[in-house]
Structure 1
Amino acid sequence: MNLLKKAYLLLCFIAVSIISNSQQAAAVDSIQQALAEAKTVEEKIFWLDNISRTMMNVNPAEADKYGLQLIMMAEESRNRKLMIKAYQGNGIRCGFFRGQKEFANRAIGYFEKALAIAKQERLEEETGACQVLLSDICLSIPDKDKAFKYITEAFSRISTTNNDSLKVEANIGYGKVYEAGNEKIPALRHYFTALRIAEEINGTKENKRKKAELKRNSFLRLSSFYSRIKEYDKAIDNYTFAYQELDNMNDKRVPYQRCIDINAIGNLFAAKKSYDIAISYYERSIAMADSLSFSNLKVPGYISLLNQFLRMNEPKKALDYVNSPRGQALISFLNQFGMSAAVYQTYAAVYSQTNQFDSARIYFEKAIPLFEQRMTENNSVVVYMQAAEFYKKAGEIDKSLAFYTKSKDIGERNGLLEIVQEASKQMDTLYGRKGDYRTAAVFNATYYIYKDSVDKLNKENELDKIAADAEEERLERVKKEEEERKRRRNNIQYMAITIGIVVLFVALVVLGMFKVSAGLIKAIGFFVFLMLFEFVFLVFKKNIYSITKGEPWLDLLFMIGLAALLVPLHHWMEHKVLHYLTSHNRLTAAGHHIKKRFFKKTRNEGE
């Protein structure tokens, strides 16, 4: 069933989020060395935060130990900003496992402690940052009301600051909340605003990495947005832009992140049904991970290939893949990170689709209690729907109805319309088999109500595509209009400066026609020539950016070469012209002629 395949994909990406949000295991030794060499508290806090996040992808228990050290060191320092950073860092690393209740609740607890300190110390930027983090984690529970409350408060705080990084994150956070509420156009506007702010950051060497990271985050959100409304080409475009921003991020994480990105782009091609291209991306991602000697980084590729067999409705290939060395590496990874529920669910789903009912029943009975204990509702509904389908195929109608009922309830609570629609449709069929036609009719009516809602939502998605295109065109038009206004304004200023220089040169020549002291002519001439050649420097400097790309050493070389050419020319021209204007009163005859004609005209008018 198509819906169940979609649900299965959702669960598998729990594991991907762990790797996507962490640094490489290969960096552990270098981080430990940097931590040992750290002198100041600030440096130790920085490296403890780094290693605690990194270890979440290697050994979560060790990550907890480093996280505790991080908090203890920050608390002992009594530096409130370091304390906030320590609690935020612990919240972020726990958020890598946000699909599990325990870690989601721990993340919220850490963020709330950081927020309490920030509010107590009246630190506006830190308060806003904590609220953005809380809004994001609340969306994964999901608790949309709390998420909206936090992001609204954060946005009002951050908008009054000069922190561009926080403004970008706040706009992205607001976009996520709007998107979760199915308000797509406001979400898109916030994503575009985030991208615009990131693009306008001064691209100095110090800001280069920050600018690239913020632009990358904005492109990733735009990619996710377009994927949701099934504009897969635009989703691929924006993910590719995000991938290209890694070229401007010179740190050790980049090669590992490239591997993750290649796999993610493959998933977008799969959603577009370009399966051959998708598989080539998955294999490329696995090969990149292999070249980096980082086995865990192969897991996203393994997951994607397994999902691909399910997309293509080939459960036998999926089962063979699970039992292959690659599949066993995936199982080992999930077990290592306390995700045995996902392991059991994987086997249960595949055995169910290959009609191996005894094996499927064993694994569903193992998986379901673990999901109920550890996973959030949005993840639990996955296994409920799969179990319901399995028991329906096995002829156990009452058990199937029980799981469809649970799925329907979760779907209604969390706005999962397709889940409610599918569950209602199946319950109509199952109650009909039992001969309970009255109850079947109730669920038949519910099915059509939600079918209409889903159809309406699909139509809205089509309208959203049109509206998104219109919004993108509008923003592009506004940007071009602003650039044109700026170009015209600059051209007017250049023209005014040019006219001013010409007028000053004419005035200088006119002064040479009269008996004016040589000192005055030289003084005025000095400023006229200075203005002329500084203007030439300005014009050249403005136009060399396309060559130097703002690289300081290239700018310096170009300006040295230009100065070597223009400075001697400046002095030579100034000397020749001023010498001509001041020597032997060469133009005084012309001056007398102008004077006579002027005064003659004045006398004639007087008579």
Structure 2
Amino acid sequence: MNCRQFIDSIVRYLLLLTLLFSVADVVAQNNEGNEKITDSVIKASSHLNDTVRIALLNRAAAAKVRTNPLEGITYAEQALALAQKTKWNKGVADAYYNLGKNKLVRADYRTALQDLESALKLEESAKNSARIIETYFAMGDVFVKLSKYPTASDYYFKALKIAEQEKRTDDIATCLIYIGDLFRASGDYEKALTYFSKGVENCTATGNNIGLAVSLRNIGNVYYTKGNTDKAEAYYNQALSVARQGNDKRNIAENLVNMSIIYSDKGENDRALENAFNALNIYKEIGDKSGIGNLLGNIGTTYLLSATRDGHSESGKYIPASKRATLNKAIDYLQQALTIEKELGELTAIPQFYENLSEAYSLQGNYKKAFEAHSDFVTYKDSAESLQRSKEIATINMEYEFTKQKDSIKMQKMLTEQRLSVEQILRKREKVYYISGLVVLLLVAVFIFRSLRTQQKLNQTITRLVAEQELTIEQRTADLRITNEKLRALISFNAHQIREPLTRITGTLSIREDVEPEEFMNDFVPLMEKAAKDLDNAIKDVLANAQNNDIS
């Protein structure tokens, strides 16, 4: 590797580091000010009640997301077991959420998604919109890691919809930043700038300095990626100013790192190192070991670049005494960075740091250590690539399982819809049959009733005629009176017999619009059937009585 290629690889590495934290900051910042939950605090909480202990375990799990996710998983599992035992749903939901967040950092995407889905179900039942939005963010992050950007955008836009409905201004800003970073990751820089700019407008209007600083920094990252370092520097400075106004220490540190890279690109090593050391002090203050490790490597790399800018990079004897001191600093900071990175188990940066260290030893003339460092570079590079392959295999398997589950859900939904469609058709047919039968019975009943009324009118006419001939046919009149009394009794009895079931039928029909179709079919149609049978029997009785009763 010649000097120019070496410098180019270093610049690309530094750019990668500064973009690593571009998404998670807004949500993480909310927890930065909380008191840290140490192992001793957790142990001391054993005498407290279960609810308090669960809350402490969940806070500890949340605090470990960006520092030690393996410990975070342990705390979250303890919280989950205790919350399930005590049947405290909020504790269970928080534990699932923290499990998902910590597993996401460890690239265990499949189980992270399962835990987040479990958390989402509980939060939806509790209608906890704030945590629902956060869970959508985390689920979107899973699919970003899988490079499934359309699916990730679905979750981000779901979160944005809830935030807009409930006018949660801070969450709206966070959504815009997530969506913008999604477009940046997919290479659509124009849309990324559009959403980051919306984030700037929203955060400015609501006074959300954390979101404003992140949005401005992300715009700077886009311009840096596009090669426009002047605009990138302008936005980094704006972001740094806003972060300082709000005393947002993490954003201050990360923008100082960005400015350090800008100055390093310009060859202004003193200013680059000044910004880097200022950022390092902040990382030490907030206890961010991951940030410390990466920044120590950056500082070592900056010293290394400073020592090679005069073009002498072939052998240690070409390095002037002033440059040797700078080279020694590069070696010292790279070794410190490697110690921390190994302690944290962050393999991503270790190969690059070993490669830089090998180059530094080579420039120093210490070829033995240069060879050892290069061997370590090869070893860790292979380990990192093996880990990446394992992640890719896990990712492919997860995508397969996810697709299979999705297809199964679609098939089940289709079969359910078909079954419901058939049932609806059958119910409609049954309804038509019942109504048709009832109509026929009603027509028969009306016909009989009208016939009886006609007969009653005829009898009244006969009675009047008999009355007129009362003097001459007194005996006949008496007989007719007896006959009429019998007839009235029969008519009254028959009318009651018919009207009673008929009233039940009409009464039931009158409420059919006030109840659900299924309830009507199950509860009221059987009653109508019984009333119809009673009506049929009543009609038969009427006919039988009319034939059998002697009214002469």
Q: 1:521 to 1:269 in 2, by over 3 A?
A: same
Counterparts of 1:155-554 in structure 2 under 5 Å? 155-159=80-84, 165-198=90-123, 201=125, 210=127, 212-249=129-166, 254-292=168-206, 297-323=211-237, 326-327=238-239, 329-330=241-242, 332-333=244-245, 335=247, 341=253, 344-395=256-307, 396-480=326-410, 483=413, 522=500, 526=504, 530=508, 537-539=515-517
Q: CA deviation at 1:337?
A: 5.1
Q: Distance in 1 between matches of 2:383 and 2:143?
A: 21
Q: Distance in 2 between matches of 1:490 and 1:111?
A: 59
Q: 1:408 to 1:352 in 2, by over 3 A?
A: same
Kept in 1: contact 2:233–2:262 (CA 8 A)? yes
Return the letter of the residue paired with 2:352: E
Q: 2:37: which partner in 1?
A: 108
Kept in 1: contact 2:73–2:98 (CA 8 A)? no
Q: Distance in 2 between matches of 1:333 and 1:243?
A: 27
Return the letter of the residue paired with 1:434: Q
Q: 1:373 to 1:221 in 2, by over 3 A?
A: closer
SS at match of 2:267: coil
Q: Given the alignment of the two structures, is residue 3 of structure 1 paired with residue 13 of structure 2, yes or no?
A: yes
Deviation per CA, 1:385-443: give whole Å up to 9, x if none: 22112101111221111121122222222221121111111112222222222222222
RMSD: 4.7
Q: 2:539: which partner in 1?
A: 586
Kept in 2: contact 1:229–1:464 (CA 8 A)? no
Q: CA deviation at 1:149?
A: 2.4
Kept in 1: contact 2:256–2:278 (CA 8 A)? yes
Kept in 2: contact 1:315–1:354 (CA 8 A)? no
Q: CA deviation at 1:469?
A: 2.4
Kept in 1: contact 2:136–2:159 (CA 8 A)? yes
Q: CA deviation at 1:12?
A: 6.7
Q: Distance in 2 between matches of 1:311 and 1:275?
A: 9
Q: CA deviation at 1:285?
A: 1.6
Deviation per CA, 1:341-377: give whole Å up to 9, x if none: 5565444332222111232233344443443344321
Q: Distance in 2 between matches of 1:247 and 1:255?
A: 8
SS at match of 2:64: helix
Q: Distance in 2 between matches of 1:341 and 1:196?
A: 37
Q: Distance in 2 between matches of 1:351 and 1:518?
A: 104
Deviation per CA, 1:88-147: give whole Å up to 9, x if none: xxxxxxx234xxxxx5xx231699589938x63344xx54344223212123332523x2
Counterparts of 1:33-44 in structure 2 under 5 Å? none
Q: 1:582 to 1:166 in 2, by over 3 A?
A: same
Q: 1:140: which partner in 2?
A: 66
Q: CA deviation at 1:167?
A: 4.1
Q: 2:32: which partner in 1?
A: 96
Return the letter of the residue paired with 1:244: K
Q: Distance in 2 between matches of 1:166 and 1:340?
A: 33
Q: CA deviation at 1:582?
A: 3.8
Q: Distance in 2 between matches of 1:182 and 1:229?
A: 10
SS at match of 2:67: coil
Q: Distance in 2 between matches of 1:215 and 1:157?
A: 22
Deviation per CA, 1:139-161: give whole Å up to 9, x if none: 3332523x222222222233456
Q: 1:504 to 1:152 in 2, by over 3 A?
A: farther
Q: Distance in 2 between matches of 1:277 and 1:590?
A: 86
Q: 1:371 to 1:132 in 2, by over 3 A?
A: closer
Q: Which moved more, 1:151-160 or 1:424-433?
A: 151-160
Q: CA deviation at 1:302?
A: 1.3
Residue correspondences, number: 463
Return the letter of the residue paired with 1:264: Y
Q: Distance in 1 between matches of 2:196 and 2:75?
A: 37
Q: Distance in 2 between matches of 1:485 and 1:161?
A: 39
Q: CA deviation at 1:220?
A: 1.1
TM-score (norm 2): 0.69
Percentage of pairs with the same residue = 14
Return the letter of the residue paired with 2:366: D
Q: 2:77: which partner in 1?
A: 152
Q: 1:435 to 1:366 in 2, by over 3 A?
A: same
Q: 1:61: which partner in 2?
A: none
Kept in 2: contact 1:111–1:134 (CA 8 A)? no
Q: Which moved more, 1:437-446 or 1:157-166?
A: 157-166
**Structure 1: which 5+ residue stretches go unaligned?**
22-94, 98-102, 202-206, 543-569, 593-607
Q: Distance in 2 between matches of 1:361 and 1:134?
A: 34
Rg larger in structure: 2
Q: Distance in 2 between matches of 1:151 and 1:183?
A: 15
Q: 1:168 to 1:485 in 2, by over 3 A?
A: farther
**Structure 2: which 5+ residue stretches go unaligned?**
1-10, 308-325, 446-492, 546-552
Return the letter of the residue paired with 2:516: L
Q: CA deviation at 1:175?
A: 1.9
Q: Distance in 1 between matches of 2:334 and 2:379?
A: 17
Q: 1:186 to 1:257 in 2, by over 3 A?
A: closer
Q: Distance in 1 between matches of 2:531 and 2:277?
A: 99
Q: Distance in 1 between matches of 2:341 and 2:203?
A: 37
Q: 1:340 to 1:465 in 2, by over 3 A?
A: closer
Q: Distance in 1 between matches of 2:92 and 2:246?
A: 36
Q: Distance in 2 between matches of 1:218 and 1:364?
A: 34
Aligned counterpart in structure 2 of residue 121 of structure 1, from 49, 74, 78: 49
Q: 1:213 to 1:391 in 2, by over 3 A?
A: same
Q: 1:587 to 1:161 in 2, by over 3 A?
A: farther
Kept in 1: contact 2:501–2:531 (CA 8 A)? no
Kept in 1: contact 2:297–2:334 (CA 8 A)? yes
Kept in 1: contact 2:294–2:349 (CA 8 A)? no
TM-score (norm 1): 0.63
